[in-house]
Structure 1
Amino acid sequence: MKKKTTVNVAPGFFYSYAATETQIHDNRNVAVFFREKDLRPGTRMNLHFTRTSSNAAFLPRSVANSIPFSSKRLPDILSLFSVLSDSPEAEALEKTLRECEEPASAGETRYCATSLESMVDFSSASLGTRDVLAVSTEVSKKGTPKQAYTITPSGVQRLVGSKAVACHAQPFAYAVFYCHVTRATKAYLVSLAGQDGAKVDAVVVCHTDTSGWNPKHLAFQLLQVKPGTVPVCHFLPQDHIVWAPRR
């Protein structure tokens, strides 16, 4: 019998953060992260594919570069976009700015892209080539929001290269992506079939070196492993992007 694994598809992507007691309690029976050995045809997982951004549009780089992007300039940003200072929107904007200003973890290079051009430039420079491929999770036939999926017989395809750039959509007044590249990262395209007929072509990122992560990160709390001991994998939500060399 194939082992059934439960996975939440919206994990935290900031590896310097420690898990809160609430996160641990809420996810005690939900494996937000999973082991690479479970990434094989026939594995059954409970998944919930969601969009996490507000579908905000990218600004042209010239426009984005003219707008302040700093927590120190938050009042100016709120005024520019007519956002009330005591609103949930203001809180979300401030959180994104502060997370973009956090120092990188050991072995990680990070960048918050405020335009499509800057995202492409960062990804190409990080991968050492302009010939790059951008992939994201796609739900071709929608089913129920949360259900059991099975990896199809030929459903695991590894992308080229020993590292990949992952870009995660952040809540902001316009499109902002937190992009980062870490050492010893593998990226996969995984074909999934849902119980109700839903089809998903999902992106999976596996980190084979987690030695620089916070020892109290949620991944270690849920998997009951220590930093640097086993590869840690997670699916990406639909509006996040992985860049890898085309060949």
Structure 2
Amino acid sequence: MNSLVLLILVAAAVAVHANSAYDTPAARFWEKALPGTRMPEAIADLAQEGTDHSPLKEHRAAPYLLPSECLRYGVGCPSGSKAMPPGLFFLETQARVGSTMTVSFSPAAVPPILPRDAAKTVPFGNLADVLATFNIAASSGEAEKIGNTLTACKTSVPGEKMMTCTTSVEATVESAVHMLVAGGKNNDDGVVWAAASGLSRHGLPRQAYVLDAVTALDGDRHVACHAMPFPYAVFQCHMTDERSKAYTMTLQGLQGGAHVGL
């Protein structure tokens, strides 16, 4: 039976990891939809935060990793965008235990994940409606990022078979599973499991890191979901062609710092 992988790329929001984080409707849905696959702690915490501190009541602007539409090696970047910062991409040949590479991730704070019922009540797709709902000035930098997200969610990217944007854990899992199954030959079924980045919201300072461990993720097909700039959590999920590979890596900074899993 084939193995299908859902990769969710987010920064860990808060170090709560309380048992209650696994008792939300989203967590219970996850257990039923992906049996045997524990919801990653970063996702569980964001779902719990979306219940306890809903962006609908406690909106706050947050820094984001990058203009999201520029993450795919510069494909689809708006005109006038800054050059891709160094230390974000690397060659597959560098992914070897004992090798060193210069890595850098800016600080990022992913907003809370709304419960599915709440996400259905708020606007998505119309910039003016979003800005009005969250009282965001149209001339602000946050408004520009939100507009870029809405544009990216409507734009197909060359080389990608399928892409969609989702606003809840449930929608993310359902969309990813649909893409994974539909992307196979003859719509064959498979075992779906998930992995998430362990990157801290504080990011990684630019320096040389040694690779302590590198593991290729077992899976015939992969769907990656990236957090997008928005007042509440929005994920852009996309499935690339069969040549794509996914790895987990453990890094250790040569100038100090804890082990980081990516």
TM (normalized to structure 2)? 0.61
Percent identity between matched residues is 34
Residues 165 and 237 in structure 2, CA contact (< 8 A), matched pair in contact too: yes
* Alignment-derived partner of residue 261 in structure 2: 201
Residues 124 and 132 in structure 1, CA contact (< 8 A), matched pair in contact too: no
Residues 145 and 230 in structure 2, CA contact (< 8 A), matched pair in contact too: yes
Unpaired runs of at least 5, structure 2: 1-64, 182-189
What are the superposed Cα offsets for residues 178-224 of structure 1, whole Å, 9 maximum, x if unpaired?
Answer: 1111012211111111111421111xxxxxxxxxxxxxxxxxxxxxx
Quote how far apart the aligned CAs of 1:130 are. Answer: 6.2
Taking a change above 3 Å as real, the CA distance of residues 88 and 19 of structure 1, as seen in their structure-2 partners, is closer
* Alignment-derived partner of residue 76 in structure 1: 129
Quote how far apart the aligned CAs of 1:163 are. Answer: 2.3
Q: What SS does the corresponding residue of 2:195 show, helix, strand or coil?
A: strand
Residues 162 and 186 in structure 1, CA contact (< 8 A), matched pair in contact too: no
Tell me the distance in 2 between the aligned counterparts of 1:89 and 1:149: 32
1:176 matched to 2:234? The reply is yes
1:148 matched to 2:208? The reply is yes
1:123 matched to 2:176? The reply is yes
What are the superposed Cα offsets for residues 57-105 of structure 1, whole Å, 9 maximum, x if unpaired?
Answer: 11122222232211xx222221111111222221121111111111242
Amino acid of the structure 2 residue aligned with 1:96:
T
Tell me the distance in 1 between the aligned counterparts of 2:111 and 2:257: 30
Residues 143 and 194 in structure 1, CA contact (< 8 A), matched pair in contact too: no
Q: Which has the higher strand share?
A: 1
Taking a change above 3 Å as real, the CA distance of residues 22 and 78 of structure 1, as seen in their structure-2 partners, is closer
1:59 matched to 2:117? The reply is no
Which among 136, 157, 162 is matched to residue 197 of structure 2? Answer: 136
Tell me the distance in 2 between the aligned counterparts of 1:69 and 1:19: 21
Amino acid of the structure 2 residue aligned with 1:55:
V
Unpaired runs of at least 5, structure 1: 1-8, 203-247
Q: Which has the higher helix share?
A: 2
Tell me the distance in 2 between the aligned counterparts of 1:36 and 1:194: 19
Residues 164 and 181 in structure 1, CA contact (< 8 A), matched pair in contact too: yes
Q: What SS does the corresponding residue of 1:145 show, helix, strand or coil?
A: strand
Tell me the distance in 2 between the aligned counterparts of 1:157 and 1:82: 45
Quote how far apart the aligned CAs of 1:149 are. Answer: 0.5
Quote how far apart the aligned CAs of 1:176 are. Answer: 0.6
What are the superposed Cα offsets for residues 162-183 of structure 1, whole Å, 9 maximum, x if unpaired?
Answer: 3211111111110111111101
Amino acid of the structure 1 residue aligned with 2:207:
Q
Amino acid of the structure 1 residue aligned with 2:95:
L
Amino acid of the structure 1 residue aligned with 2:144:
E
What are the superposed Cα offsets for residues 132-180 of structure 1, whole Å, 9 maximum, x if unpaired?
Answer: 12221345xx89722210012xx11111113211111111110111111
Which among 199, 209, 220 is matched to residue 162 of structure 1? Answer: 220
What are the superposed Cα offsets for residues 12-71 of structure 1, whole Å, 9 maximum, x if unpaired?
Answer: 3346426968745x75xx46432211111121111123343x33111122222232211x
Residues 143 and 198 in structure 1, CA contact (< 8 A), matched pair in contact too: no
Taking a change above 3 Å as real, the CA distance of residues 22 and 200 of structure 1, as seen in their structure-2 partners, is same
1:225-240 to 2 correspondence within 5 Å?
Answer: none
